[in-house]
Amino acid sequence: MQFRRDIPGSKKIYPFYIQASTKADTVEVYEAPIDAMSGATLRQYKHDSPWRSVHYLALGGLNHQPIDYFLQQHPEVKRVSLCFDRDDPGRNFTKTVAKRLAERGYIVQDAPPAIGKDYNDYLLAARRLISMER
């Protein structure tokens, strides 16, 4: 059985964050740090752009406060890619956040994982495919 909880006194406004290496205009937002790291790894596998060409943000759940704080601190960001889980809570949260951000003028992309429930599942499936090709 897994037991997960927040440390008393932790502030959800401060998310897990991997900064882009350049002044990026895009942030990819995930539910959990493992998913953000998996998204970064998938970008490396795809070779479509440098993995540090975007910001990676993990909320530690489904909470809009870290997104708002991040965007406030990074006015250069104009594009938000929502990479939430492919389950009912993730899909519902995507709709809510996408609407809020679009109303504020952001370009929003809905980007659930192509395979599996979350981006870590997607990464594991991609790794299996890559190893089978070798």
Stated pTM of the model: 0.88
One-letter amino acid of 25 = D
Beta strand 55-58 with 107-110: parallel, antiparallel or unpaired?
unpaired
Burial of 10 (0-12, 13-18, 19+ CB in 10 A): exposed
- Which pLDDT tens digit goes with each residue over 42-91? 998 877 778 889 999 999 889 999 999 999 999 999 999 999 999 999 99
In whole angstroms, how far apart are CA 41 and each of 4, 20, 48, 116?
A: 24, 14, 12, 16
